[in-house]
Amino acid sequence: MSIELISIHKSYDHQIILKDFSLTLPDKGIVCLQGPSGSGKTTLLRLLAGLDAPDSGEIKGLPVSKAGAHGPKIAMVFQEDRLLPSFSARRNIAIVSKEADPDRLMERLGILDAADKPVHALSGGMQRRVALARAMAYGADIYLLDEPFKGLDPATKKRVMDQFKPLGERALVIVVTHDAAEANYLGGTTIELAGPPLHRK
Amino acid sequence: MTRSTTSDKNDAQLHQNPHNGPGKSKASPGFPMAALGQKLLVFAFWIGLWAAAGMAVGQELLIPGPGIVFSRLLALLGTKPFYFSIFASMGRIMLGFLLAVVAGTLLSVLTATIPFFKHLFSPLIGMIKATPVASFIILALVWLSSEGVVTFVAFLMVLPLVWGNLSQGIRATDRQLLEMSRMFRFSRWKVVRYVYIPSVMPHFVSAVTTGIGFAWKSGIAAEVLGTPKGSVGQALYNAKIYLETPDLFAWTLVVIILSLIIERGVLWFIHWTAARL
């Protein structure tokens, strides 16, 4: 069942972020969300994730404001890495799934060497990749990725993006990005968000 | 003329950082002997000051010198009642301390999860915090046996501390991590084990290390006022009324040393448990 957003209004602190916003998302594939800062990209992800509820409007195909409830499994990569700081990279990845193979994922993203170090001791780029590996390990139907490749050098970025592209064959992958080149490389559909008040171009 | 080898050894000991190269900070002893040497010098200084004060005052009643205090201490170490008192006092105080840690932990979880209990207990704990130890001791002596008072007072001193620190630790837990754990459908146990406990741990350790000092000091004070039979506090009290100042000093040293040992012991126990989790 595809996901539909109908006439969504959302504001924070009297600031209108989304106004009469409607969107239909495909069952699977890659969708890139682009737009300037403050255009509501993160807000959109949070509404889809169920972490926030819209002020008005409908969301079909997902439980509204019930993050973690039954329904499609959603893997999220936040702008902040949100890793468990005192645990190792391996543990952070293994904790979301019993079936996943953390070592294989870490190897594919180039972080296997740091597997057993506590994540707070890793560089920003490595922490990012741990967060990405964790999302991959979860076995989700929907991926919500908020600027996932930020902080990675060009070579690493390409390697990581190559790992994520195939996910679009079986799942819906929504990627928020500032970078047009990234969006181009990933392919799929691009949705551009203009500054407030918001509507689809 | 050649120098004797012994004076060379002394030079090596007193020389603060013999193995430091250029660019290394002077503050770090590059050699374990140097650190030990420094500690011995500090110790010798204060003992020397004590001896000088004793001699200057000239009255054993007021300031006994280190010599006589240590000889009294050695004498005490040879008697059975000495060890009985120590274990009895430690037992009573540690019981109060442990009960407070358990109660404080449970209470902090309760007040953090159910606002009603927070409103109910906050004023009570505030009052306990504000009341002076002596008031508790004297009141409790009316209700309880002198042994019970010790445990009770140690308990009351540590409870607000543990509750306060843990409550703060729970409140300070990173909301972003909690959101993440919701998204990845962590079970309740996983959230507690992987998000809350690591966040609260430093607050817990801080509460316990401070609390052990509170418990010990207030417990001894309770023993001095209540004089339960066979306790460190009673020994302090007796030394006072029989005007045996050297004993008073000796027992006070015992209290200090025990306090240090217990503090180290508790810290070690915490780290040992944490490594096992």
CB-based contact A145:A135 (threshold 8 Å): yes
Task: Indicate the pLDDT class of residue A66, thresholds 50, 70 and 90.
Answer: confident
End-to-end CA distance of chain B: 64
Query: Distance between CA atoms of A138 and A95, rounded to whole angstroms?
Result: 9
Closest CA to A154 of A179, A137, A190: A179
Is A198 part of a structural domain of the chain?
no
Instruction: Pick from A82, A90, A134 the residue to mutate for testing the B interface (most B CBs within 10 Å).
Output: A82
Query: Distance between CA atoms of A34 and A174, rounded to whole angstroms?
Result: 11
Report CB contact under 8 Å: B184, A85: no
Based on the structure, what is the number of domains in chain A?
1
Q: List the domains of chain B with CATH numbers.
A: 1-58 (no CATH), 72-276 (1.10.3720.10)
Place of tokens 């409007």: A57
User: Which residues in chain A are contacts of B184 at CB distance < 8 A?
Assistant: 68, 75-76, 95-96, 134, 138
DSSP state, residue A179: -
Is A174 part of a structural domain of the chain?
yes
Is A67 part of a structural domain of the chain?
yes
pTM: 0.80
Query: Distance between CA atoms of B38 and B32, rounded to whole angstroms?
Result: 10
Task: Indicate the pLDDT class of residue A192, thresholds 50, 70 and 90.
Answer: confident
Task: Indicate the pLDDT class of residue B11, thresholds 50, 70 and 90.
Answer: very low
Q: Which domain, by its residues, includes A98? A: 27-54+61-192
Q: What is the pLDDT of residue A196?
A: 56
Give per-residue pLDDT as tens, A124-173.
999 999 999 999 999 899 999 999 998 899 999 999 999 999 999 999 99
Q: Say which CATH number the domain at A175 has.
A: 3.40.50.300
- Could you tell me if A79 lies within 8 Å of chain B, comparing CB atoms? no
Token pair for B192 = 């507690």
Residue A11 pairs with which residues in a beta bridge? A16
Report CB contact under 8 Å: B195, A68: no
Is A135 part of a structural domain of the chain?
yes
For chain B, give the percent of residues with pLDDT over 90. 63
Would you state the torsion angle of the CA atoms of residues B188, B191, B193, B198, taken in this order, to the nearest 10 degrees? -150
Residue of B nearest to A77 (CA): B180
DSSP state, residue B126: H
Query: How confident is the prediction for chain B on average, in pLDDT?
Result: 86
Task: Indicate the pLDDT class of residue B3, thresholds 50, 70 and 90.
Answer: very low
The Cα of B202 is separated from the nearest Cα of chain A by a number of Å equal to 12
User: Which residues in chain A are contacts of B186 at CB distance < 8 A?
Assistant: 95
- Could you tell me if B183 lies within 8 Å of chain A, comparing CB atoms? yes
For chain A, give the percent of residues with pLDDT over 70. 96
Is A10 part of a structural domain of the chain?
no
Is A5 part of a structural domain of the chain?
no
Report CB contact under 8 Å: A51, B198: no
Is A173 part of a structural domain of the chain?
yes
Give per-residue pLDDT as tens, B175-220.
999 999 999 999 999 999 999 999 999 999 899 989 999 999 999 9
Chain-centre distance of CA B44, in angstroms?
24
The Cα of A82 is separated from the nearest Cα of chain B by a number of Å equal to 6
Nearest by CB to residue A68, choosing from B177, B183, B198, is B183
CA max distance for chain A: 48
